[in-house]
Amino acid sequence: MSAQLDTLPLHWTPVCALADIVPDTGVCALVAGRQVAIFRLARLDDKVFAIDNYDPNSNAAVLSRGLVGNLGDRIVVASPIYKQHFDLNTGECLEAPENSVSTWPADVRDGQVWIGA
C-alpha cells in the first residue's frame, strides 16, 4: 500500500484495473454517488488523475471523454463539447475559473486504480 493510502483519512474505493484504461485517455466511474473522470498518463509513468466528470460549461457529464494534453506546464483535459481546458492537478477551468471542478485523490496499488472520497 502506498504512503498516500496509509496517511489520508479517506475512504478509498477500487474502481478498475489500471490496464482497463487506455494510456492517455479517461474513463468514468461512480464513486460516493458522483461521476468521476479518471485519466491515465503514460508519459508520467501511468500516473492517474481524477476530477469531476461533469462539465459546468456545457452542463454535461463528458470530461472523461476529453482529450488529454498540456498547456505549458499544466496537464489538462479539453472538454469534448466546448473545448475548455481543465487542469488535472487542480480542477481549474483555464478559460473560466468560476467553472472549475473538484479533484479526487487517485492512486494505483497492485495494478488497481483507487479513488479517495
Bridge partner list, 35: 30
Q: How confident is the model at residue 1 (pLDDT cuts 50, 70, 90)?
A: very low
pLDDT, position 51: 98
Q: Name residue, grid cell 479513488.
A: 115
Q: How confident is the model at residue 10 (pLDDT cuts 50, 70, 90)?
A: confident
Distance of CA 33 to the CA centre of its chain: 16
71 contact partners, CB below 8 Å, separation of at least 6: 85, 94
pLDDT, position 96: 97
Which of 39, 30, 16 has the alpha carbon at shortest distance from 86? 39
pLDDT above 80: residue 2: no
Per-residue pLDDT tens over the stretch 44-98: 999 999 999 999 999 999 999 999 999 999 999 999 999 999 999 999 999 999 9
| CA–CA gap between residue 56 and residue 70 (Å, rounded) | 21
Q: Can you tell me the mean pLDDT for 15-35? A: 97
Q: Can you tell me the mean pLDDT for 12-27? A: 98
Residues of the chain above pLDDT 90, percent: 91
The one-letter amino acid code at 58 reads: S
The one-letter amino acid code at 92 reads: E
Q: What is the value of pTM for the model shown? A: 0.91
pLDDT, position 3: 43
Joined grid coordinates for residue 80:
469534448
